[in-house]
Amino acid sequence: MELQHIFLFTAIASSSLIVAQSFRGQTSAPRAAAFIVLIASSIAWLIARSVAGYIAGILWCGLLLLPAIIRHRSGAKHDPFYRTRSPRITISPVVLALILVNVATFLIEILFGGPENPLTLYRLGELDTTSVLHAHQHWRLFTALFLHYGMLHLAFNMFALLVLGPSLERQIGPVAFAVCYLISGLGSSIIVVSLAKLRLLPPLELVGASGCVMGIVGAWGGFLLRNQDAPLARQRLRNVTVIVLMQIAFDLVTPNVSMSAHLGGLVTGFFLGLGLRRQPFRGM
């Protein structure tokens, strides 16, 4: 995974979400800027693929991110209640605990030889399909979920968890959220190993929490389908659809990522989400 692939994914995914949400009455300015970012990013990918991600990132910052920051500061300056009405990223207990565990594991990787050292990752428990199938090292199905190949890989997954996780945790409760995260990750690992056993995939060595994170996306989808009376259910379901489509597109154009692992986590999380119920509100 390279930095420019993350820039490209961020620009396209956020622009697509803005376009999808704008048809619910959002002003046309962000929508027009989002369309420009989408079109320019697509053209850059076709004619200048080696730098397309950086071009998309610059356009995203200039046309969407910076104007949004300026609007936020202007609104907060003129309206004392603006901050309380503005969407913000918050953190929840299980999400915080998972981030801390992943960061701690990353520090262990550094101490034992480096997060980009193949031998270090193998010793600490990467998902090596050959070792699982022939040496019966089934513990790798679990340990690989907390290992990451470099700081960029860790930051991308933890940011996605921070954005997607807290809202679902508040809706379904911390225990159910933790179960969805871990079982989705295990489902992702099992599906990859099963496909390798059937020789539908070559032998693989995988690390990362992306299967767990995609499981959270899938759980959101299943939960919203079952609880369509939940606040903003339809809007959030559209957002989940856009995220899934963008992730598939990202996997198709990005080397060294496993679409099978992502889809495995997504499908596992979706079926878990179908069985979830909203946490009852507890007032003071």
Residues serving a catalytic function are 210, 262
Q: In the chain, what is the straight-line distance between the N-terminal and C-terminal CA atoms, in Å? A: 46
Between CA 230 and CA 126 the distance in angstroms is: 38
Between CA 284 and CA 281 the distance in angstroms is: 10
Between CA 82 and CA 87 the distance in angstroms is: 10
Q: Which residues of 248-272 are buried (b: 16+ CB within 10 A; e: fewer)?
A: eebbeebeebbebbbbbbbbbbbeb
- How far is residue 188 from each of residues 150, 171, 180, 260, measured CA to CA in Å? 21, 23, 12, 8
Between CA 73 and CA 67 the distance in angstroms is: 10
Between CA 16 and CA 57 the distance in angstroms is: 14
Tokens of 169: 């945790």
Between CA 103 and CA 161 the distance in angstroms is: 13
